[in-house]
Structure 1
Amino acid sequence: MSDISLSDFDVNKLNEKDKAELRQFLNNENQKARVQATVHSLTDICFKKCITSTVRNGKLDRSEEGCMANCADRFIDVSQLTMKHLQSLRQG
């Protein structure tokens, strides 16, 4: 059994409803990829900033836990502030 690639598929043969569903699916997948990239970036940045010792027994020490939580909170705050600013620029 051979795999069918997207390049083997003629999108123009789809009806408008199927094209719309395909566009929505691709948009959703792109959004998932962006979220995963953001989480990966956040994890990497906060880990490098906060984890100063060797993780033992799968646990962080108390100061590292606090730093990670604060780092994640600040990242989310900045992301929300940036989105609000971009929305205000778009609106007017």
Structure 2
Amino acid sequence: MDNFDNFSVSEKVDATELQRMIAIEQQKAQFQAQVHNFTDICWDKCVDSPGSKLDYRTETCLVSCVERFIDTTLTITNRFTQMVQKGAH
């Protein structure tokens, strides 16, 4: 039960829309937390000690991390797009 029994139709619509918006914001926050975690992992993996210039190994590692991040982001975005399209039909 949605606990909206005593609400008018317009109030139910507003409450449902608010719930949807909250869910979207929660998803955004979860995604940002994952990005932050991923950044920490890449930093810990690639950067031994920060300096004024990146050495070749560090630069290569960071480039690889960024490329994997982009690949992962595109995969997730495509999957969400497919889910939305299936839900719209």
* Larger RCO (CA within 8 A; separation ≥ 6): 1
Ranges in structure 2 where 5+ consecutive residues have no aligned partner? none
The answer to whether the aligner puts 1:45 opposite 2:38 as a matched pair is yes
Candidates 71, 75, 78, aligned match of 1:74: 71
Change (3 A) 1:81 1:28: same
**Percent of matched pairs sharing the same residue:** 3
Change (3 A) 1:41 1:15: same
Counterpart residue identity of residue 67, structure 2: N
The alignment yields a C-alpha RMSD, in angstroms, of 3.4
Partner of 1:3: none
How many residues end up aligned between the 2 structures?
80
| CA distance in structure 2 between the aligned counterparts of 1:76 and 1:25, rounded to whole angstroms | 27
For residues 56-88 of structure 1, what are the alpha-carbon distances to aligned partners after superposition, in whole Å with 9 as ceiling and x for unaligned? 59xxx5726534532431222111232344467
For residues 8-50 of structure 1, what are the alpha-carbon distances to aligned partners after superposition, in whole Å with 9 as ceiling and x for unaligned? xx732221101110110111001110111022113213431x2
Change (3 A) 1:14 1:90: closer
TM-score, length of structure 2 as denominator length: 0.60
Ranges in structure 1 where 5+ consecutive residues have no aligned partner? 1-9
